[in-house]
Amino acid sequence: MIKSPKPVDSLTYEEALAELESIVVALEEGNQPLEQAMTLFERGQALARRCTQLLEAAELKVRQVSGEALTEFEDEP
């Protein structure tokens, strides 16, 4: 029996990113029929949105905890 993927909204950032990376690899190989490739592409788009949402939520939390605006990271000379 083929296991259904977890709903995108229930994935952690790490899970979503790992699945997105595997989808990119599969699409780059180009061995899928068009319909399967489209399904993978749609799932990839949903995973990318999930990652963005989770990163934005993390950034907001950091801003709230730090009490100030985030600054760009600068390398030491």
* One-letter amino acid for residue 72 of the chain: E
Tell me if 17 is assigned to some domain.
yes
pLDDT at 42 over 60: yes
- Give the N- to C-terminal CA distance of the chain in Å, as an integer: 57
Q: What are phi and psi of 61, to 5 degrees?
A: -65, -40
Q: Domain count of the chain?
A: 1
Tell me if 37 is assigned to some domain.
yes
Tell me if 16 is assigned to some domain.
yes
- CATH number of the domain residue 49 falls in: 1.10.287
Position 63 scores a pLDDT of 80
* 47-63: average pLDDT: 92
Cα 18 from Cα 47, distance rounded (Å): 10
The three-point CA angle 54-39-17 to 5° equals: 25
* One-letter amino acid for residue 27 of the chain: L
Tell me if 47 is assigned to some domain.
yes
Structural domain that includes position 35: 10-65
Predicted structure pTM score = 0.78
